[in-house]
Chain A
Amino acid sequence: MMHRPAVAPMRKESLTYEDVLRIVQLVKSTRFSEFRLKVGEIEVQLKRRNGASADASAPPVAAASAAIAPSSSSVPGRTFAPDARLVRSPMVGTFYRAPGPDAEPFVEVGRHVEPDTTVCIIEVMKLMNSIAAETRGVVAEILVANGAHVEYGEVLMVIGPDPEDG
């Protein structure tokens, strides 16, 4: 088969891709500072820096998921008022305060929300998830910056009781 050349003497009349492949594999798989090869009609002589490591052209590593980036916005160990309701991220993702780059934010601190009010978007695996307040109240705090990476279960916003209620 083409990509598994048998170990056979190189043909003398013409250099083939199989020959090239064998030379390339030989160069890549060995450490040397000097390399001389003479088979039949072909002669190759190489000098390499410091007998550098064999493989400079290693296979590309798959693009790392954005989810690996450390969170810049978590607030470990924070405690919240007992009557505060917390809006948490359903997944690892990216937090957006507005429906588009030029759009107004869904909510600001002090804004009254109903359970079905969308307060932010979490982008998960390139899909947009509208996150609802799930409670009635007033936005007390927005803990995450627009565009920030968020962890699973991370607190995004704090919804406090509405002073006009009750």
Chain B
Amino acid sequence: MKPKASARSKRFDFIDVTLRDAHQCLWSTRMTTAMMTPILGAIDRAGYAYINILGGAVFDVCVRYLHENPWDRVRLLCERLETPCDALTRGQSLYTFELFPDDIVELNSQVFARLGVEVLTVYDALNDNRNIASSVRSGHAAGMKVNTMMTYTLSPVHTDAYYVARTRELVQLRADFISIKDPTGLLTPERGRTLFPAVVKAAGGVPLKLHSHCQSGLAPEVYEIAMQSGFRYGYTASEPLGNGASLPATEDIGARARRLGFRTSLDAAALKEIAGYFTCVAEREGKPLGRVAAYDPALYEHQIPGGMISNLRTQLQTMQMEHRLPEILEEVPRVRRDLGYPIAVSPFAQYIVTQATLNVVQGERYKTIPDEIRKYAMGYYGRLAAQPSDEFLERAGIQPGDLVTERPGEHIEPWIPRLRKTLGASVPDEDLLLAAFYDKPLLEPLKKRAPQYEYRTTPLHELIRFFGSRDDIEYAHVRFAGTEMTFSA
């Protein structure tokens, strides 16, 4: 047990999400490696304890849309940053929503460690900790620390006692850190006052981290409660990429920590430089900045992410059924209850919305049930938070004998022998993993050469880069402090 922290030694430390969750939430995950490299020096000086560089969506968007090899990004960031890097996976599902066998999960941990990742962060969207066990084991075996996350949601079954029970499981798994992850910003200061001390107590000295988003506008206050309850770390983002659907701004939480008497290692000058840089990048690339959200009580009703609602509206428009959106949003909580309160994050948010839409549009509840929802309800992806309703089970034709009770990873055969046979014995582990996750055509574009990255920047650099990025500028002449530059297209 750690000695009880005295007022003098109280610290609160920070984990940066600017290169990961912040742009996932605000820029549709479209921050390229080239946008990151110029400012890495300042990020290193900012005083973060860890820097989160990878998550499921970042990996996937690198491959599908940015055509960057995600392993190259991980290697480069780990090499360039002296601050320890943290990479996140979805446990047995790694970067996707399907389940992978244990041998792929284990190889992924080995590749992380080899590329320089120091902390493996892992969570399961059902909070079934059997789905992260193989990650924790292989992460430790590869020499990494492991940060385990439990996902917060609101439901009659997700009580403080539920999270205390999950915390005890994570302690049993020998997690090095335990995080509460609040992907839709549902935590309130009131709930934090009961939940956080209970979890700190159950963690028995394992340091806690808070990862909460700002949709409700309450996250900064929730962070204060976490600090006061004994949490050691908070995940935050550089100010232009903080707030809104993203996490709180480092600058804001740092100021709150100091006001509450905590010491931090934050460097205000470096943070200002990072914020200035990303503000300019956002302007140049036409990307939005995070805005502080106003408190929105509706968020607590359906809990559906805003992006998904706008997507659904578009679909309904094509069916000339947009007027039925309110009915669907009313059906959403009922479906969630019938399904045993899945957390409204991917992929379960899609399950809930799709099933609610089918129920309303077909005019009959559960006439059509997507195959994935049936598998979910049988426990194929992991343990449910609560028993599905009888009505649902009956319509889905699920009998008690159909239920899957074993650990989901248990029913998947190893893949590596087959992949080595197809790809050749000498295939690098990184390529083998990519082949396990993606079809060949998707991997072709990753073979292109990476651009020459810039590792330094100044405001003048950014001004020049802006002129260079515009096709319509045919001539630019800049003179500043004894330097003179002319460009022409």
Chain A residues packing against B (C-beta within 8 Å):
1-3, 14-21, 23-25, 27-28, 41-49, 52, 55-60, 62, 64-65, 67-68, 90-92, 121, 124-131, 151-152
CB distance from B118 to the nearest CB of A (A): 30
Digitize B295-321: 1 where CB-to-A-CB distance is under 8 Å, 0 elsewhere: 000000000000100110011001101
Which residues in window 260-286 of B have CB below 8 A to A?
Answer: 272-273, 275-277, 279-280, 282-286
Shortest Cβ distance from B375 into A: residue: A128
On chain B, the residues within 8 Å of A3 by CB distance are 239-240, 275, 279, 282, 289
Tell whether B474 is near chain A: CB-to-CB under 8 Å: yes
Do A152 and B361 have beta carbons less than 8 Å apart? yes
CB distance from B389 to the nearest CB of A (A): 19
On chain B, the residues within 8 Å of A151 by CB distance are 318-319
Do A20 and B476 have beta carbons less than 8 Å apart? no
On chain B, the residues within 8 Å of A91 by CB distance are 319, 357-358, 361, 368
Quick check: which of B123-131, B410-418, B462-470 contacts chain A, the rest being far away? Answer: B462-470
Do B476 and A60 have beta carbons less than 8 Å apart? no
**Also in contact, A16 and B459, with CB within 8 A (given A56-B472, A58-B286, A90-B362):** yes
Do A57 and B470 have beta carbons less than 8 Å apart? yes
Do A59 and B368 have beta carbons less than 8 Å apart? no
Max count, chain A CB within 10 A of own CB: residue among B282, B287, B480: B480
Do A2 and B272 have beta carbons less than 8 Å apart? yes
**Also in contact, A90 and B367, with CB within 8 A (given A43-B478, A65-B311):** yes
19 extra A-B contacts, CB within 8 A, seeds A15-B460, A17-B280: A3-B240, A3-B275, A16-B459, A20-B463, A21-B283, A24-B283, A28-B283, A43-B477, A43-B478, A44-B476, A46-B475, A59-B288, A68-B318, A90-B362, A121-B371, A124-B354, A127-B350, A127-B372, A152-B321
On chain B, the residues within 8 Å of A126 by CB distance are 347, 350
Q: Contacting A67 at CB < 8 Å: which of B277, B307, B314? A: B314
On chain A, the residues within 8 Å of B370 by CB distance are 124, 127-129
Q: Contacting A20 at CB < 8 Å: which of B319, B321, B459? A: B459
On chain A, the residues within 8 Å of B463 by CB distance are 15, 20, 23-24, 44
On chain A, the residues within 8 Å of B475 by CB distance are 45-47
Give the docked Cα–Cα distance between A129 and B314 (Å). 20
Do A52 and B472 have beta carbons less than 8 Å apart? yes
User: Range of interface residues on chain B?
Assistant: 35 or more
On chain B, the residues within 8 Å of A124 by CB distance are 354, 357-358, 370
Q: Would you list 14 pairs from A and B whose C-beta atoms are within 8 A, ordered by A residue?
A: A15-B463, A15-B481, A18-B276, A20-B462, A41-B480, A44-B479, A49-B472, A49-B473, A49-B474, A52-B472, A55-B286, A65-B315, A90-B358, A127-B370
On chain A, the residues within 8 Å of B357 by CB distance are 91, 124-125
Q: Contacting B473 at CB < 8 Å: which of A46, A125, A128? A: A46
CB distance from A6 to the nearest CB of B (A): 14
Give the docked Cα–Cα distance between A128 and B350 (Å). 12
Give the docked Cα–Cα distance between A20 and B282 (Å). 12
Give the docked Cα–Cα distance between A60 and B31 (Å). 13
On chain B, the residues within 8 Å of A60 by CB distance are 28, 30, 286
CB distance from B52 to the nearest CB of A (A): 22
The 10 tightest CB contacts between A and B, nearest first, are A17-B276, A127-B370, A47-B475, A52-B472, A45-B477, A43-B479, A57-B286, A152-B319, A59-B286, A90-B368
On chain B, the residues within 8 Å of A129 by CB distance are 358, 368-371
Do B354 and A127 have beta carbons less than 8 Å apart? yes
Shortest Cβ distance from A19 into B: residue: B459
Shortest Cβ distance from B488 into A: residue: A47
On chain B, the residues within 8 Å of A152 by CB distance are 319, 321, 361
Max count, chain B CB within 10 A of own CB: residue among A27, A92, A127: A127
CB distance from B60 to the nearest CB of A (A): 13
Do A125 and B350 have beta carbons less than 8 Å apart? yes
Do A2 and B319 have beta carbons less than 8 Å apart? no
Give the docked Cα–Cα distance between A23 and B280 (Å). 10
Give the docked Cα–Cα distance between A2 and B372 (Å). 46
Give the docked Cα–Cα distance between A88 and B459 (Å). 60
Do A16 and B276 have beta carbons less than 8 Å apart? yes
Q: Contacting A57 at CB < 8 Å: which of B28, B289, B315, B469? A: B469
On chain A, the residues within 8 Å of B318 by CB distance are 65, 67-68, 92, 151
CB distance from B278 to the nearest CB of A (A): 9
Give the docked Cα–Cα distance between A147 and B484 (Å). 58
Give the docked Cα–Cα distance between A130 and B358 (Å). 13
Q: Contacting A43 at CB < 8 Å: which of B321, B474, B480? A: B480
